[in-house]
Amino acid sequence: MKFEDLPENIQERLNHSYWAVYLYNHSLNELHLISDVEYTPSQLKIVNSHTFDFYRITLHYCFVMEYNKLLEIGRRDSQQNISSLIQLNDAVRENLGAPFQRSHAINHSSLASIRDSDFFTKMRDLRDKKFGHSDSHDINKPFSFRGFKTEDFKNGVNHLRIIKQVIDTCTSPFDLSLDIDIPNREDRTHNFIQFHAKYQDYYFNNYLEAEFGLKK
């Protein structure tokens, strides 16, 4: 079956879920590249620059929001929580009926296991008390932000794999699947950091020649 031949409500939910998964996967990978990779001192000057500090915050925001969108319990109103996988799972069951009942139960259990995790609680708190609202809470102290640790990246990837399996289970009866690498393999940011660190080292090591045409 072609995507455009899906029931309209399922097609709309899948569109939003796919986009949320893409942003989740891409932002988590970018965060990993600038927060959890060993760099040389020259490369760290770039990674810890103002530009990358701001980029890091925006990536956290993107990841936290998309993660929570996918894992919302959601409402039955088709215009509410459109990215919710719980609602997608229910919509497919309503469309397919009894043949999807067992798959629906497995998906429900998988999503419940994520929502019962400490990582989910942490991401929900970040959304509600840091990024989504300005509550009087320690997590929302102005000008402070505690970045992800290695364990957070592992949890984010593991949850994404479960999420992909849920989506694949929802789309397989229609002979569709989500084609995505988990984790994301994009490495242009890593290459950018390495290249500009080399360029910066060359410039400062050869400052007189580069600036005035004078050799040491």
Per-residue pLDDT tens digits for 109-137: 999 999 999 999 999 999 887 665 555 45
Question: Regarding predicted confidence, which is higher, 84 or 131?
Answer: 84
- Number of compact structural domains in the chain: 1
Count of CB atoms situated within 10 Å of the CB of 152: 19
* Token pair recorded at residue 185: 């393999």
CA angle 13, 18, 22 (to 5 degrees): 150
Amino acid, single-letter form, for residue 9: N
Structural domain harbouring 32: 3-212
CA gyration radius, the chain: 22
Which candidate, 113, 184, 194, 118, places its Cα nearest to that of 149? 118
**Integer Cα distance of 47 and 57 in angstroms:** 13
Q: What is the pLDDT of residue 143?
A: 45
Q: What is the pLDDT of residue 177?
A: 84
Residues contacting residue 198 through CB under 8 Å, at least 6 positions apart: 42
Question: Regarding predicted confidence, which is higher, 16 or 178?
Answer: 16
pTM of the complete model: 0.84
Checking if the pLDDT of 142 tops 50, the result is: no
Least confident of 87-96, 125-134, 182-191, 206-215: 206-215
